[in-house]
Amino acid sequence: MEKNLNLNLKVWRQKNANDKGKFEEYKVNNISTDMSFLEMFDVLNDRLVTEDKEPIAFDHDCREGICGSCSMFINGQPHGPKQGVTTCQLHMRSFNDGDTIVVEPWRATAFPVIKDLVVDRSAFDRIISAGGFISINTGNAQDANAIPIPKDDADEAFAAAACIGCGACVAACKNASAMLFVSAKVSQFALLPQGQPERYQRVSEMVAQMDLEGFGACTNTGACSAECPKGISLTHIARMNRDFLVAGMSTNEK
Amino acid sequence: MNWVIKMFSSSLGQKFIMALTGLFLCSFLIVHMIGNLQLFKADDGLAFNTYAVFMTTNPFIKVTSYLLYFSILFHAIKGILLVVKNNKARPVKYAVQNGAANSHWTSRSMGVLGTIILVFIVIHMKNFWFEYKFGHEIGYTSYYTNLATGVTVSKEMSAEYTQFNKMEEGMTADENGQYRLVIVKDLYKAVAIQFKEWYLVALYVLCMFAVGFHLFHGFKSAFQSLGLNHSKYNGLINFLGIWVFSILIPAGFAAMPLFFFFK
């Protein structure tokens, strides 16, 4: 049932990458419980514009949980208190009247803040460029059933491919580690026949790029998987670890 | 060789090292536990003391022990370096972080728990290992065992008694039959005396909690780091990690100082 909430927001404001930044407090009133978290920010920003103040910058695009843009660290958790959702799918009914909500950007060396709640996640793009693809010359797509793939493998690869690259894993991890993201991207190809020719080169190069970007190492806390809006499993990290070990011992590089 | 260095210096490779040294240290705990169970034997320490001689003189054990010291140092130093590296990955901390919502506290406290264990190992080795090998506080005890009746009589040697070898063994005979004589450095007595101090007992018991919590996460985490995560054997890993390494073994070790304190 729809209710209206009055909330106190503490939002991180930072003019640019070089600004020190600080928290600003805002009171927002009459917020419908049917609104999404981002819509609540829209209401606040409308007000800030009419008050001739700088609206709060935040990333958003599809608003249906598949683009991975809406990176907000809400009350100590990426994408807020609910599991399996992005910020755009987080509804205000998850909060109570009078709550204070602290909103911060992702914090990681590899994700520098651009402005307010917007961070630069191009580190993920560079990891993908390092090997998260299959090199094939395009042409007519071959018949879908020409390559047999066991159903279990296809399902597992699909579960890995569900990763939307939102960065919640990095945000949640106490080490700001990107293992879950990288392992999902490694797994989705490692499980399929099309990914085999470049399998070990791929894992080596993606891990090397991941380290270069300044992400932390893995402590296996499982926070990444628990906070992942797509529920990517830790088994993918284990697969990446295995493949990396095999890559080190079996590739021709000396 | 380049590939070896490259592999083990990567963030994944460093975790392989942590996992391999960690599991080796776990295997040591089992041996240490089984050996030290002889402390509970009501023989005035004959079994434990002869075991201590074996553990410090057997060449195979000696080689393994150097590997063990190396593993402890490597695991600790690598662990500290990883904490430093991981802190660098997030220089600006969150104002609010609700870690309890997504992970177990032990997994987020491995550095702190490990540091407690390292300090404990230093104290523990100073108290027993160093004293036994290099100290002059620990005296000798002789054990006469009547082979016919199996009765052992132990007697402390005088303070002047020193011995080049750690153990003297021999047979003597008198009118009742044959006696077996063993004269050995009495580590058992050193243990019994030290564990009469309440603060040392408290320290040991508390540190065993640290070991239990460290291994509650560490044991299964090591397998994950090595890429061994499969529903076929995860149940076994979890069972061993929780029941054996985080409960049974720490409880067994904690029982030793408590046993001597209340004895």
Report pLDDT digits (tens) over B154-201.
999 888 887 777 788 887 777 667 888 999 999 999 999 999 999 999
- What pLDDT is stored for residue A181 in this prediction? 98
Residue A179 pLDDT level (bands cut at 50, 70, 90): very high
Model confidence at A142: pLDDT above 70? yes
Confirm if A59 and A69 have CB atoms less than 8 A apart. yes
Q: Average model confidence (pLDDT) for chain B? A: 93
- What pLDDT is stored for residue A150 in this prediction? 94
- What pLDDT is stored for residue B149 in this prediction? 84
B-chain residue closest to A168, CA distance: B102
B102 and A CB contact within 8 Å: yes
Model confidence at A26: pLDDT above 90? yes
A242 and B CB contact within 8 Å: yes
Q: Which option is the CATH number for A122-250: 1.10.10.10, 3.40.50.920, 3.90.330.10, 1.10.1060.10?
A: 1.10.1060.10
* Gap from B58 CA to chain A (nearest CA, Å): 35
* A104·B94 Cβ contact <8 A: yes
Residue B75 pLDDT level (bands cut at 50, 70, 90): very high
Q: Which of B12, B96, B230 faces A75 most closely, judged by CB atoms?
A: B96
Number of residue pairs across A and B with CB atoms under 8 Å? 148
Model confidence at A187: pLDDT above 90? yes
* A77·B98 Cβ contact <8 A: yes
Q: What would the pLDDT profile of A68-121 be if each residue is shown by its tens digit?
A: 999 999 999 999 999 999 999 999 999 999 999 999 999 999 999 999 999 999
- What pLDDT is stored for residue A167 in this prediction? 97
Q: What would the pLDDT profile of B36-58 be if each residue is shown by its tens digit?
A: 999 999 999 999 999 999 999 99
Q: Which residues of B touch A152 (CB under 8 A)?
A: none
Residue A131 CB partners (closer than 8 Å, separation 6+): A198, A201, A202, A203, A204, A205, A206, A209
Residue A141 pLDDT level (bands cut at 50, 70, 90): confident
Mutate to test the interface with A, among B102, B215, B219, B225 (most CBs of A within 10 A): B102
Burial of A235 (0-12, 13-18, 19+ CB in 10 A): buried
Q: Which of B7, B217, B224 faces A237 most closely, judged by CB atoms?
A: B224
* B225·A241 Cβ contact <8 A: yes
B4 and A CB contact within 8 Å: yes
Q: What would the pLDDT profile of A48-79 be if each residue is shown by its tens digit?
A: 999 999 999 999 999 999 999 999 999 999 99
A84 and B CB contact within 8 Å: no
- What pLDDT is stored for residue A1 in this prediction? 65
Q: A 13-32 residues with CB below 8 A of B?
A: 23
- What pLDDT is stored for residue B173 in this prediction? 73
* A177·B11 Cβ contact <8 A: yes
Q: Give the ipTM.
A: 0.92
- What pLDDT is stored for residue A160 in this prediction? 97
* B11·A23 Cβ contact <8 A: no
* A223·B102 Cβ contact <8 A: yes
Q: Which residues of B touch A123 (CB under 8 A)?
A: none
Q: Which residues of B touch A207 (CB under 8 A)?
A: 10-12
- What pLDDT is stored for residue A251 in this prediction? 76
* B91·A109 Cβ contact <8 A: yes
Residue B7 pLDDT level (bands cut at 50, 70, 90): confident
Q: Which of B85, B107, B228 faces A222 most closely, judged by CB atoms?
A: B107
Q: Which residues of B touch A12 (CB under 8 A)?
A: 95
Residue matched to tokens 């047999």:
A148
Model confidence at A188: pLDDT above 70? yes
* Gap from A176 CA to chain B (nearest CA, Å): 6
* Gap from B47 CA to chain A (nearest CA, Å): 41
3 state SS of A103: strand
Extents of the domains making up chain A = 4-104, 122-250
- What pLDDT is stored for residue B1 in this prediction? 66
Q: Which residues of A touch B218 (CB under 8 A)?
A: none
- What pLDDT is stored for residue A254 in this prediction? 61
- What pLDDT is stored for residue B177 in this prediction? 72
B86 and A CB contact within 8 Å: yes
What H or E segment, with its residue span, contains residue A9? strand A4-13
- What pLDDT is stored for residue A20 in this prediction? 95
- What pLDDT is stored for residue B176 in this prediction? 65
* B227·A81 Cβ contact <8 A: no
- What pLDDT is stored for residue B175 in this prediction? 65
* B4·A241 Cβ contact <8 A: no
**Phi–psi pair at A228, nearest 5 degrees:** -65, 125
Residue matched to tokens 């419908």:
A32
Architecture per CATH, domain A4-104, reads as Roll (3.10)
